[in-house]
């Protein structure tokens, strides 16, 4: 799992660096050369989508998403653990159904229809592959969160085995 974390971090860094270079070039061509490029705008848009979705998976992995823990912090250890497991199961289900299943159907549909991006003429199905990819990552991370979660150590808070 650590390898996946590292690869995802590096991919996000590279995509972000490419986006910075792309937008910088876009600004230069627009304001200095007075000849804006339509390619750079589309590249920036697609990079933003990929960074946003892969970044969401990464944020889920490192538990950096915004969350309200006022309720869970006040719960006893057993209830807190159960709540965390339930939240991860819900995240897994959402990612599996909406992102993996639905995203895969979207990728297949756009590839079947041979939909191309306006400026780059790249099949949109390739651009949309980030949706099921991010969903798979979120599913993996949710399972890992559940497996790594520590059940409360107090005997009175543990379920009877």
Average pLDDT value over all residues in the chain: 90
User: At 116, phi and psi to the nearest 5?
Assistant: -115, 150
DSSP reduced 3-state for 116: strand
Chain segment 92-140, per-residue pLDDT in tens: 999 999 999 999 999 999 999 999 999 999 999 999 999 999 999 999 9
pTM: 0.87
Distance CA 33, CA 48 (A): 25
The burial of 113, by beta-carbon neighbours within 10 Å (0-12 exposed, 13-18 middle, 19 or more buried), is given as exposed
pLDDT at residue 149 above 60?
A: yes
C-alpha distance across the termini of the chain, in Å: 29
Is residue 107 within 8 Å of residue 131, measured between CB atoms?
yes
- Residue 36 burial (CB count, 10 A): 14
Assigned token pair, 15: 């995509």
Chain segment 43-99, per-residue pLDDT in tens: 999 999 999 999 999 999 998 877 767 778 888 988 888 999 999 999 999 999 999
């Amino acid at each position: 799992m650590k390898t996946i974390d590292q690869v995802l971090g590096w991919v996000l860094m590279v995509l972000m660096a490419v986006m910075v270079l792309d937008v910088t070039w876009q600004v230069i061509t627009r304001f200095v050369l007075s000849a804006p490029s339509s390619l750079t705008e589309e590249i920036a848009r697609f990079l933003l989508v990929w960074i946003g979705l892969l970044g969401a998976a990464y944020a889920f992995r490192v538990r950096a998403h915004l969350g309200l823990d006022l309720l869970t912090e006040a719960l006893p250890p057993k209830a807190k653990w159960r709540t965390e497991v339930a939240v991860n199961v819900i995240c897994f289900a959402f990612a599996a159904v909406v992102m993996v299943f639905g995203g895969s159907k979207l990728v297949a549909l756009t590839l079947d229809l041979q939909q191309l991006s306006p400026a780059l003429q790249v099949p949109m199905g390739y651009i949309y592959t980030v949706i099921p990819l991010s969903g798979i990552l979120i599913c993996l991370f949710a399972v890992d969160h559940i497996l790594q979660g520590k059940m409360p150590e107090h005997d009175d808070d543990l379920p009877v085995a």
